[in-house]
Structure 1
Amino acid sequence: MPTIPTTGDVHRFGLRDFAVVIVMNVLWGLNIIAVKMAVTQIAPMTAGFLRQAIVFLVCASWLRLVPGRTGTLALLGTLSGGVFYLIINLSLAVSSNIGALAIAGQLGVPFSLLLAILVFREKIHWPRMLGIGLSILGVVLLVFDPAAAREGVGLSLTALASFIWAITSLIQRRLVGVPVLTIYAWVGLMGSIVMAVVAGIAEPAAMRGIPDLPLRTIGWVAFSAIGSTVIGQGSMSWLLQRHSVSVVTPMTLAAPIISVFAAAYYFGNPLTLLMLAGGGVAMLGVAIVTIRTARVGVRVAERLEGKLA
């Protein structure tokens, strides 16, 4: 994974960087539509298998055995490429209000911080605690919105998927220095295996029907695999190699906002005042956690550099 650049390494944030930020957020924001369409036109587990198979095909040339960390890569791939997509695809398959799921999906940020506190005994101060509370409160508000409350199963599955995502974010801390494409080669490989087994058992007819899928349907899966995973994550990696974490991470906050409004427009989901309020509160909490965590990361890196100098 990319390291935090030192002061001398930081480039000026120019038009090309802003263009990459826009592309990254749009790809991530629209991905929820692509995944929903994929699990609607294909069976959800089969759609997950196809996505991970495409990711693996794109990144296969980067697959490596990394001494001392191959087991961690395999575990990350199993959870991130398999278990996470199994749950998230199922949540999208059983839900119609996709905007509500996009808001609930932001629980991954506070979950990851809470796990860091429990696992790494990371100390946090009141601003990030406030951010965690606001993130959870914003999602809880959705329960009181009739338009979103009907998605109880989908919201619960999305919250569970967010928890799995939080676990994978901690695992990735052990993979510093491993190329991003190598990580995603493992995600694609292990994810393909997990999803193939599950889909083969639960959706045998859909798996047999893969060769007969129309190109438009495969296009939704390809957009999700190549656009959101390979290009989106690759853009994030490229930005982090040029700029500090505190500069880059706040610029990812536009993606869930795009998801909410894009889903409302494309699927005709209602945007009630309570849903907008819940989304606003949740995003405020996520923004506080994201920005404060990025700043803490930079200060830690600067202290380490000072000790090594």
Structure 2
Amino acid sequence: MNFRDFLLLFGVCLVWGLNIVLTRWVVADMNIPPLFFAAVRFAGVALFLIPFLRPVPDKLFTLLLISVMIGSLNFALLFMGLRSAEASAVAVTGQLGVPISTLMSMAFLGETIGWRRGLGIMLSFAGVVLIAFDPSSFQISVGLMFVVGSAFIGSFGGILMKKMPPLTGLQVQAWVGLFSFAPLFAVSFLWERGQVDAYIHGGWPVWLASLFAIAGVSIFGHGAFYTLIKKYDVSMLSPLTLMTPIWGVVFGVALLNEPVSPRLLMGAVIALAGVFMIAVRQNTRLPEAALGRKAGAGDS
């Protein structure tokens, strides 16, 4: 990889990691209802990317199901998790999309794995369990369980994507945005309260965070990433995307003053080591499995 493209990937991972922290700040510190914030983001993505809705792809109903998986359900659970779990822990836990996608490619696509990827899967889950489970109180973080659920659903959407004809990254973003914002708004107004007032009174910092998620993450981040996917093998890109959770931890500590406990550090090292072991081994049936949700709607 040439240095310019590495800098581009570095910037993409930085944007993704920062967005996890900004979303945590919006839904937790600013008390913006998470489903409403997700709906606003997808509405903005659909609006910005209207030109990429043409031509209308084949298998539109399959694309609708994919959008539900990698869009509305995935992000609803992720944002609900961010409301109660620290951004640094979410940044690491979200990487479970990689081993989960690998397991699903085994179950649904007939992929076989060797002992190295098998060990990587076990390490990934063990590291997340160490982060999520507090042995002193025998409690599991509910917020991180939402994030694990998000990883499962997003990974299943990635499997369904194999049934679609090839689409560009921005085409996927446009259709996911179009199919996702209305269900999220509907559920938000049924379940959440005071969301419009909270969003309006959040002022320009919350609106700027929304614009960053739309333009910085969904348009720049994923557009640039799909450009890199076309130029380089997934086996080269996927280990480098582990910069994303590292940035998530760094920004969580620096911007939100989140504590860095020995349990978090140990769990992160174990989990990311497992993800790395999976990412560097070729998946013949679903190469995108090594990228987790990054191949769908993205990291955050």
**TM class by shorter-chain length?**
0.7 to 0.9
Shift of 1:178: 1.4
**Counterpart for residue 305 of structure 1:** none
Counterpart among 97, 101, 107 of residue 108 in structure 1: 97
User: What does 1:115-134 align with in structure 2 at a 5 Å threshold?
Assistant: 115-134=104-123
Partner of 1:4: none
Aligned equivalents of 1:203 and 1:211: distance in 2? Answer: 15
1:10 paired residue number: none
User: Would the alpha carbon gap of residues 278 and 177 (structure 1) be closer, same or farther in structure 2, given more than 3 Å must change?
Assistant: same
Question: Would you say 1:244 and 2:233 are equivalent positions?
Answer: yes
| Deviation per residue, 1:277-306 (Å, 9 max, x gap) | 1100100000111111368878xxxxxxxx
- 1:211–1:21 distance in 2 versus 1, CA, 3 Å: same
Amino acid at match of 1:133: M
- Pick closer, same or farther for the CA change 1:106–1:72 going to 2, 3 Å: same
Between stretches 199-208 and 17-26, larger displacement belongs to 199-208
Shift of 1:196: 0.9
Check the 8 A contact 2:111/2:283 in 1, yes or no.
no
Instruction: Indicate if the aligned counterparts of 2:88 and 2:245 stay in contact, CA closer than 8 A.
Output: no
| 1:68 correspondence with 2:44 | no
* Structure 1 segment 129-278 matched on structure 2, within 5 A: 129-145=118-134, 152-207=141-196, 210=199, 213-278=202-267
Deviations 1:152-186 (A, max 9, x none): 11111111111111111212222352122111111
Checking the alignment, whether the CA contact within 8 Å between 1:35 and 1:89 is kept in structure 2 is yes
TM-score (norm 1): 0.85
Secondary structure of the corresponding residue to residue 269 of structure 1: coil
Match of 2:80 among 90, 96, 101: 90
Q: CA deviation at 1:52?
A: 0.6
Amino acid at match of 1:158: V
- Partner residue, 2:67: 77
Q: Secondary structure at the match of 2:111?
A: coil
More divergent stretch after superposition (263-272 vs 128-137): 263-272
Residue 51 in structure 1 maps to residue 9 in structure 2:
no
Partner of 2:26: 38
CA distance in 1, matches of 2:233, 2:200: 45
**1:33 is aligned with what amino acid?**
V
In the superposition, the TM-score normalised over structure 2's length comes to: 0.87
Cα 1:166–1:32 shift into 2, 3 Å: same
TM-align CA RMSD: 2.3
| Structure 1 segments unaligned to the other structure (5+ residues) | 1-12, 299-309
Aligned residues: 285
Aligned amino acid, residue 182 of structure 1: Q
**Percent identity over the alignment?**
29
Summarize deviations over 1:13-56 as a string: whole Å, max 9, x none: 32321221111110111111111122132221111111111111
Structure 2: 5+ residue runs without aligned partners? 288-300
CA separation of 1:108/1:220 partners in 2, compared to 1, >3 Å: closer, same or farther? same
**1:101–1:197 CA distance, 2 compared to 1 (3 A):** same
Amino acid corresponding to residue 63 of structure 1 in structure 2:
L
Deviation at 1:201, TM superposition (A): 1.3
> What CA deviation, in whole Å up to 9, does each residue of 1:99-118 have, x standing for no partner?
12222111111111111111
Does the CA-based 8 Å contact 1:100-1:148 persist in structure 2? Answer: no
- For residue 4 of structure 2, the aligned residue among 6, 12, 16 is 16
Whole-Å separation in 1 of the counterparts to 2:183 and 2:247: 30
Q: Is the 8 A contact 2:134 2:140 kept in 1?
A: no
Displacement of 1:234 after TM fit? 1.0
CA contact (8 A) 1:111 1:166 kept: yes
Kindly indicate whether the alpha-carbon contact (under 8 Å) linking 1:141 and 1:275 is maintained by their aligned counterparts in 2: yes
CA offsets, 1:250-299, max 9 Å, x none? 2211111111121122222211222111100100000111111368878x
